[in-house]
Amino acid sequence: MGLHNSSHAASNHEDVDVVIVGAGLSGLIAARELHKKGQRVHILEARATTGGRMIRQTTKTGAVIDLGGQWGGATHHRFQALVDELNIKTFPSYYDGKGVLLWDGKRVEADLAKQALNKVLFFEDEQIGQPADQITKAKAAMQAFRAIAASIDPDRPWTAPNAVELDRTTIRAWCDNNSESRLSDFELEWLSVVGGSGGFDPWDASILHLAWTQAVAPQDEGPEAWLLNGAAGQVAERLTNELRPFIHLNSPVHGIDQNAVGVTVHVGGDQQIQAKSAIVAIPPPLRNKITFKPDLPAEMRAFLQRSPMGSMIKVFAIYPSAFWRDQNLNGFAVGNQKTLKLTADSSLPSGTPGILAAFVAASEAVAFQQMTADEQRQAVLDDLVAYWGPEARSPEELIIHNWNQEAWSTGAFTSFVTPGAWTTYGQQWQQSHGRVHWAGTEASSRWPGYFEGAIEAGIQAANKAILQVES
């Protein structure tokens, strides 16, 4: 039995308890929670497939990769529990041996830091070959930044001490005023560009927003601690199989009306679904494409308009084996290269095949997507060689997936908040709109931008919806 297509998206007046907009992980989790409690659910997905940004692909060489998110973290307890429930095996990310720092063209092999306070750019500070005074200044600036993060209430970042000033100060401006080291500048830039916050430049967001991303999704907690046998995308596939009768593909929602007793969701031409509550589990920029009656509060619209998606392109280089492991290297690399700011070993424990995941992000991603395919390939391979040597020049397969071109994602990993928006409009962030509730990883105050955040947001939205259904 296949999923419903657009011609069967809904009858003209179908009645259910809760309509869920979006069949990514968060929407699927919300639907699953409601279904377990006996609620009638109807899931509408604009794409021809489920999973959203959680999707896997089998390559020509037979490797299975995640085009979207792929890692689980040490404190991702909800995600771990779900994976265990689905009987999916996991394995630790490969961090044995040294990583690579490529700084101003100089390549250094170094151990990953065991304690946060002793690291610069994720490495043991005495091993990165930089002047002692630069290291001291970098650690001092990062200590000042961590102090800001520690002062932030994850649920209410606008209440932090000096929140208005911090929210009006871009990351770039804060570095100019508080950092005397290019090393710390780059570490903060890295957190914005390719850290879990994802895909924005240091002039696009405030230091308050960046500090909030570390308060809610701290890199020091090991968010890339483990991987799934068969890739993470199978989680969404298994949830889809559970919920198959309730999922309707090719069904973009263009309007949601509500009154005192329920909602009417408008799909396609004249299709309508009646429900007692609705959950919108799509990224903030896409919510603005839906017409709400009554309309969203002006402050909420303003917050959504100031919550664009990050720019992210994911790259996989697949080799016969993880050759770097033979050199006592772990595949983790960071550098101030023009194209790839990060690589990570995504191979199975056997190391066969060898898989490196890498990312092109923020303004570099915008420039990259304007290149020809040959230019893109050359730029990626040049950086891979700079990190890992001549063997990296000849992968069996090179896969480049541009999330910015996905019409129903418009970027990855998550949205971010532009300067001034948290303190002016932030109170609207998680506020329900009457009978309409928000899910998607962006709606979570713990691990947004990760699977863990998507699960938490889905459960919270389901709990809010069920109160209205049962009232």
* DSSP line for 431-446: --BTTEEE-SGGG-SS
CATH superfamily of the 6-52+232-307+418-469 domain: FAD/NAD(P)-binding domain (3.50.50.60)
Domain boundaries along the sequence of the chain: 6-52+232-307+418-469
Q: Tell me if 358 sits within 8 A of 313, measured CB to CB.
A: no
Per-residue confidence (pLDDT) for residue 7, from 0 to 100 = 35
Q: Distance between CA 280 and CA 45 in Å, rounded?
A: 11
Q: Distance between CA 421 and CA 438 in Å, rounded?
A: 18
The neighbour count for residue 287, using CB atoms within 10 Å, is 24
Per-residue confidence (pLDDT) for residue 471, from 0 to 100 = 81
Order the strands of the 18-21 sheet from edge to edge: 247-248, 41-44, 18-21, 277-280, 436-438
Contacts of 269 (CB under 8 A, 6+ apart): none
3 state SS of 57: strand
Per-residue confidence (pLDDT) for residue 8, from 0 to 100 = 41
Burial of 25 (0-12, 13-18, 19+ CB in 10 A): buried
pLDDT, tens digit only, all 471 positions of the chain: 345 443 344 445 569 999 999 999 999 999 999 999 999 999 999 999 999 999 999 999 899 999 999 999 999 999 999 999 999 999 999 999 999 999 999 999 999 998 877 789 999 999 999 999 999 999 999 999 999 999 999 999 999 999 999 999 999 999 999 998 999 999 999 999 988 767 999 999 999 999 999 999 998 899 999 999 999 999 999 999 999 999 999 999 999 999 999 999 999 878 999 999 999 999 999 999 999 999 999 999 999 999 999 999 999 999 999 999 999 999 999 999 999 999 999 999 999 999 999 999 999 999 999 999 999 999 999 999 999 999 999 999 999 999 999 999 999 889 999 999 999 999 999 999 999 999 999 999 999 999 999 999 999 999 999 999 988
92-113 burial, b for 16+ CB within 10 Å, e for fewer? ebbbebbbbbbbeeeebbbeeb
Q: Tell me if 327 sits within 8 A of 98, measured CB to CB.
A: no
Pairing mode, strands 41-44 and 18-21 = parallel
Write down the pTM of the prediction: 0.96
